[in-house]
């Protein structure tokens, strides 16, 4: 439900704006319907600013890099310094903290949306919205499709999307270039922020991923080959609690196999001639060939899940007991 609300809000309020003769999309913050008015004084984030300054003061090189990052945001128009009249506005205002993260020799200025003040947090008051990015499994599957993979990135992707003027007061931050004896300047964001710390942390494991096999080897005549997908459904020897019979465990694994098959068929762009799911259990095969309404709730529900997962299949689905010999023509 929240996903639909977020999409509806974006469709209703997103507009096109021209910035330096270039058209950009300007979107609203996807606020929850019961989101209260946000109001915070700049003193709320002063302790965090002082903490960041103390860490930077111990390393001049990092301090210069941090200052350069913020100056870059200002120069490209992602953030702007607020005037005295704007600060005296009686409307909403909210401040976000920031700190430096260093990884692989790169220094990043990371903004913390989870900052809380008097029990309020901007993160908790916004709708999460639907997942728009491709799944990791889908990306890995498509990586195998051809011998050479080309990837691209949108430069400053999140900075290409602007914010509506009424939402900018909720994205203010303070900075004084590590000049602790001067009052800090207050800046306001004009575009979306890339502040997904958890996502950034997951990127660090990418160098350890190795994709060795290709679905389309260069030395194979692609016009004469057939492509089959085989999914093996095998119950683990370590049974979860509460304990189920082996037949029920095999059925649960068959559900997982059917769901995996649906994902593979959705994400693969290659033509698949046949999809075969293998199971050790003749009982599961019997259940799948019968009407789910004949069984008790546990079995009937899972049989229905399997049939529903494979109902919209674009390829032929075959269930086979493991150990059966396949004949080829």
Assess whether the previous peptide bond of 112 is cis (omega < 30° from 0).
Answer: no
pTM of the model: 0.55
pLDDT at 139: 83
pLDDT at 280: 81
Q: Which two tokens stand for residue 183?
A: 């009052």
Please give the DSSP secondary-structure letter assigned to residue 205.
G
Q: Which residues of 57-89 are buried (b: 16+ CB within 10 A; e: fewer)?
A: eeeeeebebbeeebeebeeeebbeebeeeeeee
Looking at residue 76, its pLDDT comes to 79
C-alpha span between 208 and 258 (Å, rounded)? 29
Mean pLDDT, 10 residues at a time, the chain of 329 residues: 81 83 82 85 89 90 88 84 75 87 78 85 83 80 81 67 84 88 88 50 65 72 81 70 75 88 85 84 83 76 83 58 49
Give the model's pLDDT for residue 138: 84
Beta strands of the chain (E only): which ranges? 15-19, 22-27, 79-81, 97-103, 106-112, 116-117, 120-121, 162-163, 172-175, 185-189, 228-233, 274-279, 317-321
Distances (CA, A) of 7 to 4, 46, 158: 5, 35, 18
What does the alpha-carbon distance between residue 48 and residue 175 come to, in Å, rounded to a whole number?
11
């Amino acid at each position: 439900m929240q996903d639909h609300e977020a999409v509806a809000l974006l469709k209703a309020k997103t507009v096109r704006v021209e910035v330096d003769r270039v058209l950009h999309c300007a979107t609203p913050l996807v606020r929850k319907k019961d989101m209260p008015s946000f109001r915070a004084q700049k003193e709320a984030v002063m302790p965090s600013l002082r903490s960041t300054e103390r860490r930077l003061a111990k390393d001049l090189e990092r301090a210069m890099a941090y200052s350069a990052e913020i100056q870059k945001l200002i120069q490209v128009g992602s953030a702007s310094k607020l005037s005295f009249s704007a600060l005296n506005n009686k409307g909403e205002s909210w401040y976000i903290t920031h700190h430096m993260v260093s990884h692989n020799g790169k220094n990043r200025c990371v903004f913390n949306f989870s900052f809380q003040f008097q029990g309020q947090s901007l993160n908790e008051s916004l709708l999460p919205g639907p997942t728009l990015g491709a799944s990791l499994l889908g990306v890995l599957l498509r990586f195998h499709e051809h011998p050479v993979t080309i990837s691209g990135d949108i430069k400053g992707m999140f900075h290409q999307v602007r914010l509506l003027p009424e939402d900018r007061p909720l994205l203010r931050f303070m900075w004084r270039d590590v000049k602790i004896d001067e009052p800090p300047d207050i800046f306001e964001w004009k575009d979306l922020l890339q502040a997904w710390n958890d996502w950034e942390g997951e990127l660090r494991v990418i160098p350890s991923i190795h994709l060795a096999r290709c679905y389309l080897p260069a030395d194979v005549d692609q016009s004469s080959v057939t492509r089959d997908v085989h999914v093996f459904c095998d119950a683990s020897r370590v049974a979860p609690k509460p304990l189920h019979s082996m037949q029920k465990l095999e059925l649960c694994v068959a559900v997982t196999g059917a769901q995996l098959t649906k994902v593979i068929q959705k994400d693969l762009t290659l033509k698949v001639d046949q999809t075969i799911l293998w199971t050790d259990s003749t009982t599961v095969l019997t259940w799948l060939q019968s009407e789910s309404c004949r069984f008790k709730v546990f079995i009937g529900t899972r049989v229905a899940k399997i049939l529903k997962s494979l109902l919209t299949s674009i390829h032929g689905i075959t269930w086979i007991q493991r150990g059966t010999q396949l004949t080829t023509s």
